[in-house]
Copies of this chain bind each other. A is one copy, B any other.
């Protein structure tokens, strides 16, 4: 264990991301309806946790901001646990400055307009529609953060149809540098599963990676991020 800790220290001093601070978001957000009910999504957090670990293995100082997951906090990096999109936004702001941000979390687009103080009961009149309001857009905010904008902002797009087209539109709309797009249709088994098949969308075009383990996607993406940031020291 001591040996592993020493190895970690050496790697952090010598890896290609040594001296860099990278922010990673992962997992779903949960948006409360009342004290016991909430809106959720099927993100397991696996891809984001794997990316955080891969970046740390290249020497980066990593802040992982995670929604509710069943995963243990990865060793060798700082994990900040949150529940809602608004809490995630705050944690992300507090983690800046960063040299790069990888927004892998499946942040809820919407939350209930109001949170009932007590558990909502059936009243015989049938349920009222659940009014929703838009959550803050963490990826767009990071991409427009002015002096605090990370040099590289990577977003994820979880789509179920016309994946590449949606992802290209998202790249432009959000103002980020890369979009990692994946098809999370239930038939693919990707959301919640251990494998991923992604496309990388940049200003230069689209690159499709074969289906591989989420750990392998993470290592390849971390290498790509290290190459994009180049040498030298950053915000760590």
A residues whose Cβ falls under 8 Å from a Cβ of B: 30, 33-43, 70, 106, 108-110, 118-119, 121-122, 126-134, 158-161, 166, 184-186, 191
Interchain CA distance A127-B186 in the complex, whole Å? 23
Question: How many identical chains are in the complex?
Answer: 2
**In the complex, how many angstroms separate the beta carbon of A197 from the nearest chain B beta carbon?**
16
Q: A132: which B residues are within 8 A, CB to CB? A: 127-130
Instruction: Find A186's partner among B35, B129, B191 (CB 8 Å cutoff).
Output: B35
Q: A41: which B residues are within 8 A, CB to CB? A: 36-38
Q: A160: which B residues are within 8 A, CB to CB? A: 34-36, 118-119
Q: List 7 A-B contacts (CB under 8 A).
A: A34-B160, A35-B185, A36-B191, A109-B122, A119-B159, A127-B133, A130-B132
Chain A interface, DSSP helix/strand/loop, else mixed: loop
Instruction: Find A42's partner among B38, B70, B184 (CB 8 Å cutoff).
Output: B38
**In the complex, how many angstroms separate the beta carbon of A134 from the nearest chain B beta carbon?**
6
Contact B129–A131 (Cβ < 8 Å): yes
Query: What 14 additional pairs, Cβ within 8 angstroms, besides A37-B39, A37-B40, A126-B134?
Result: A35-B160, A36-B41, A36-B160, A36-B184, A37-B108, A38-B40, A38-B42, A39-B39, A40-B40, A109-B127, A119-B158, A119-B160, A122-B134, A127-B134
**In the complex, how many angstroms separate the beta carbon of A47 from the nearest chain B beta carbon?**
14
Interchain CA distance A133-B110 in the complex, whole Å? 20
Interchain CA distance A50-B128 in the complex, whole Å? 35
Q: A133: which B residues are within 8 A, CB to CB? A: 126-127
